[in-house]
Structure 1
Amino acid sequence: MNVNEHVIEQQSLTFVGVKRTFSYVDGENLREIPKMWQDALADGIEERLNRFNNGAIPGLVGICVDQRELQDNQMEYWIATSHSGEVPEGLVSIELPASHWVVFEADELKPEAIQRLWLHIMTEWFPSTSYQHAGIPELEVYRGNGTPPQVWIPIKSV
Structure 2
Amino acid sequence: MNYKIVEQAGFSLVGIKKSFSYVDGEHLSGIPNMWQEAYTSGTEDRLFHLNNGVIKGLLGVCVDQNEIQEKQMEYWIATTYDGEVPEGLSTLLIPSSKWSVFEVEGPLPASMQSLWKQISSEWFPSNPYEHAGIPELEVYPGPNHPPQIWIPIKS
TM-score (norm 1): 0.95
Q: Using a 3 Å threshold, how does the CA distance of structure 1 residues 21 and 143 change in structure 2: closer, same or farther?
A: same
Structural RMSD (CA): 0.9
Which aligned pairs between 1:103-142 and structure 2 lie closer than 5 A?
103-142=101-140
**Which structure 2 residue ranges, 5 or more long, are not aligned?**
none
Contact 1:109 1:148 in 2 (8 A): no
Other-structure match for 1:11: 9
Question: Relative to structure 2, which stretch is displaced further, 19-28 or 143-152?
Answer: 143-152
Which aligned pairs between 1:84-95 and structure 2 lie closer than 5 A?
84-95=82-93
* Counterpart-to-counterpart distance in 2, 1:40 and 1:50: 11
Percent of aligned pairs sharing the same letter: 57
Shift of 1:147: 1.9
Shift of 1:25: 0.4
Q: How many residues align?
A: 155
* Counterpart-to-counterpart distance in 2, 1:110 and 1:97: 28
Shift of 1:51: 1.8
Which aligned pairs between 1:9-158 and structure 2 lie closer than 5 A?
9-156=7-154, 158=155
Q: Using a 3 Å threshold, how does the CA distance of structure 1 residues 121 and 149 change in structure 2: closer, same or farther?
A: same
Shift of 1:146: 3.0
**Which structure 1 residue ranges, 5 or more long, are not aligned?**
none
**Paired letter, 1:15:** L
**Paired letter, 2:122:** E
Q: Could you say what secondary structure the match of 1:34 adopts?
A: helix
* Counterpart-to-counterpart distance in 2, 1:153 and 1:22: 19
TM-score (norm 2): 0.97
Question: Relative to structure 2, which stretch is displaced further, 82-91 or 100-109?
Answer: 100-109
**Runs of 4+ off more than 2 Å:** none
